[in-house]
Every structure is written in structure tokens, then in C-alpha cells.
Amino acid sequence: MNSLFIFTVVIFLICINPTGAATCHPDDEAGLLAFKAGITRDPSGILSTWKKGTACCSWSGITCLTGDRVTALNVAGQSDNAGSFLTGTLSPSLSKLQHLGAIYFNNLKNITGPFPQFIFQLPLLKYVYITNNRLSGPLPVNIGSISQLETLGLDGNRFTGPIPNSISNCTQLFQLNLRDNLLTGTIPLGMANLKLLSSLDLSGNRLSGTIPDIFKSMTELRFLTLSNNQLSGNIPPSITSLAPILRFLELGNNNLSGTIPSFLSLFKALDRLDLSRNRFSGVVPKSFANLTKIFNLDLSHNLLTDPFPVLICRTINLT
């Protein structure tokens, strides 16, 4: 769902790319060819059109919206075709692409190395989507200095360590996806500054501590996914501020406890509510019967005692 949105943005840029560019800016050509040189295996020829001396704006995956300058880079493998995966590293020479606004590296699978530092040297960069690769190591403590970012997707890698507190400086973010890494520590309180976030996905990590009470300022948040971590404690009360618009609330497979708060019955826009595989106890609030639009509700594998109120929804899992 989130990746579909970014993919749509990139495809839009590609579709309006002026074709037939006669030239290629030498900095952009050098940066792109250095990236290609860092790829040791390209079995399906994803980069076969990248040839020195030809117009790089016509190369596969390249978009130019300002004359001969590259503005978007889209290199993707096919998840169902192992032969399409690239092997190699991300060249720091991509910093030469000074007009770059969007990077989309998805399903390349065998791309290794640390967080790409060249990102800090691209002043126009707004969309970063580097997913399903094998990048590793910690996220940089100064990640917040890329304050112009609107989308940061690093899901499906092997990043370790904490989420840097400086992420709070990325106040233009509307999408933050760090799912399926090896991140540890707590969720930074400073995330309350990310007031434009529409989607926050930190699932599939090793985050611990309580869910911080940070949601009062996040008035645009529609998708909140914190499942498959080691979070504990109660659901914070500030989450009620999301009731009018939140569509997905996924907190399953953590160590959350206490009673299921009745204020969740106010979330009339919810399509999915997953509280499964936690330690919630007591009764299910009778007011949950008001959640008549919910598509998928999962309260299974908890310590609940009383029968569940009747709901009109597609999928209910209590056991």
C-alpha cells in the first residue's frame, strides 16, 4: 500500500519524462556509471542501457525533468524473479546527481553496505525508497539533517541500533517506513514533531519500552503499524486524537498489557485493528459493537475473559 504510492509517484515522473534528450550532464553520467560499476552482477540486464556517451535521460529507470539533469532514479528487481536481483553496493558517486529528487531502489535483494551517505549531499532529494535489500549497520545519528525529506522508506533491510532522536527534525515527512529491520531501543519522543505523517510503520523490529504518548500532534496519521516488536505497557491515551481518520492500527505480537481501552470504539474509520498476541486482560468493551465498518479485527492470543460483543465486520479473530 505505502510502496504502491511511491511507485505511482515514480511512474508518473517517468511518464512525463521528455524523451530524446541529445545530451547528458557529465556529472550525472559519471555518477550513474559509477553506480553501475559498483554492481557486480546484473543477470537480467537491468542496467544494460546505461552506456557511456549516450543520453542518460533515455536510460532505463532514469527520469529528467530539467533539461539534461537527472531528477529521479528508479532501479527495481522483480520479487518473483530471482534472476532479476542485482548484487553490489551503492556508489557514493551518486552524490553527483545534484538535481535528484527521488530514489527508488526496490527488491534488488543483494545490495549491501551501510546507510548511503551520499543522500546527505543531495539538497533536492524528497523521496527515498531503498527497500528489500541487505543494507546494514546503524542509522546515522544525524539523519534529521535531511530535513527536506517527504518520504523515507528503508524497510526490508538489516539496519541495527536505535532510531536516531534527530529523526524529529524531518518535519516534512508524510511517510516513514522502517519495518522489517533489526532496530532496537525505544520509539523517540521527538517523533511528536512529525505532524505531517500520514503513515508510520516500525513493525518487524526489536523495539522495546512503552509506546510513547506522542500522537496528539499527528493529526494526519492514517496508518500506524508497530506490530512484531517487544513493546510493553498500555496503549497511550493520546492515540484517541487519531480517531476521526486512522484506518490501520496494528499493535499485534508485542508485550502490551492492561485492559483494552474503550476509547478504541471511537475509531469509526478503522479498516483494521490488530491487538493480537499481547497480554491484554479483562473484558472486551461493549462499545466495540459500534465498530460496524471495521474489515479485520484480531484480538486473538490475549488473556481476555468475557465474550465478545456482536460486530458487523468481515473478519473477527478472538481465539
Residue 286 has pLDDT above 60, yes or no: yes
Residue 293: its pLDDT value, please? 81
End residue of a domain, out of 118, 138, 158:
138
Q: Is residue 157 part of a domain?
A: no
With a cut of 60, say whether residue 131 has pLDDT above it.
yes
Per-residue confidence (pLDDT) for residue 56, from 0 to 100: 92
Predicted confidence band at 306 (pLDDT cuts at 50, 70, 90)?
A: confident
In this structure, the answer to whether residues 126 and 19 fall within a common structural domain is: yes
Q: Does residue 123 sit in the same domain as residue 66?
A: yes
Lowest mean pLDDT among 96-110, 200-214, 304-318: 304-318
pLDDT score of 9 more than 80: no
- Residue 184, pLDDT > 60, answer yes
CATH of residue 61? 3.80.10.10
> What is the pLDDT confidence band of residue 78, given thresholds at 50, 70 and 90?
confident
As for how many domains the chain has, the answer is 2
Is residue 211 located within the same domain as residue 281?
yes
CA 301 – CA 106 distance, rounded (Å)? 34
CA atoms within 13 A on the CB side of 308: 18
Question: How do residues 18-51 score in pLDDT, each as one tens digit?
Answer: 444 447 899 999 999 999 999 999 988 999 999 9
Distance between CA atoms of 169 and 187, rounded to whole angstroms? 15
Q: Report if residue 159 sits inside a domain.
A: no
Neighbour-count burial for 24-42, b at 16+ CB within 10 Å, e otherwise: bbebbbbbbbebbebbeeb
Most confident of the following: 63-72, 76-85, 186-195: 186-195
Percent of the chain clearing pLDDT 70 (strictly above)? 88
Span 275-285, average pLDDT: 94
DSSP letter for each residue of the chain: -HHHHHHHHHHHHHHTPPP------HHHHHHHHHHHHTEEE-TT-TTTT--TTS-GGGSTTEEEEETTEEEEEEEE--TT-GGG-EEEE--GGGGG-TT--EEEEES-EEEEESS-GGGGG-TT--EEEEESSEEEEEPPTTGGG-TT-SEEE--SSEEEEPPPGGGGG-TT-SEEE--SSEEEEPPPGGGGG-TT-SEEE--SSEEEEEPPS-GGG-TT--EEE--SSEEEEPPPGGGGGGTTT--EEE--SSEEEEEPPGGGGG-TT-SEEE--SSEEEEPPPGGGGG-TT-SEEE--SSEE-SPPPP---SEEE--
Are residues 306 and 209 both part of a single domain?
Answer: yes
What is residue 183's predicted lDDT score, i.e. its pLDDT? 98
More confident position, 160 or 6: 160
Q: Report whether pLDDT(251) > 90.
A: yes
My answer on whether 249 and 306 are in the same domain is yes
Name the nearest CA neighbour of 172 among 142, 152, 202, 201. Answer: 152
**In the structure grid, which three cell numbers stand for residue 11, read together?**
511512474
Mean pLDDT of 69-93: 88
**How high is the pLDDT of residue 303?**
93
State the cell numbers at 117.
551517505
Structure-model confidence comparison of residues 2 and 248, the more confident one: 248
Where is average pLDDT lowest: 22-36, 116-130, 156-170?
A: 22-36
In tens, the pLDDT along 289-300 reads 888 888 899 999
Task: Say yes or no to pLDDT of 13 above 60.
Answer: no
Structural domain contains residue 120: yes
Q: Is residue 83 part of a domain?
A: yes
Spatial neighbors of 172 by CB under 8 A, at least 6 apart, are 126, 147, 148, 149, 150, 196
**Domain limit, last residue, from 138, 168, 187:** 138
Confidence of residue 316 (pLDDT cuts 50, 70, 90): low
State the pLDDT at residue 289: 84
Whether residue 145 lies inside any domain: the answer is no
Residue 1 clears pLDDT 70, i.e. is over it: no
Same domain? For 185 and 318 the reply is yes
**pLDDT surpasses 70 at 8:** no
Are the C-beta atoms of 102 and 13 separated by less than 8 Å?
Answer: yes
Is 172 part of any domain? no
Q: What CA–CA distance (Å, rounded) separates 1 from 296?
A: 16
- Looking at the fold, whether 190 and 88 belong to one and the same domain comes out as no
Q: Is residue 143 part of a domain?
A: no
Same domain, 133 and 46: yes
Whether residue 288 sits in one domain with residue 208: yes
Tell me: do 93 and 43 sit in the same domain: yes
What is the extent of the structural domain holding 81?
1-138
Residue 15: what pLDDT? 45
Q: End-to-end distance of the chain based on CA atoms, in angstroms?
A: 28
For the segment 258-281, the average pLDDT, to the nearest whole number, is 94
Q: Which residues pair with residue 159 across a beta bridge?
A: 137
Cβ count near 102 (within 10 Å):
21
Radius of gyration of the chain (CA): 22
- Are both 229 and 298 inside the same structural domain? yes
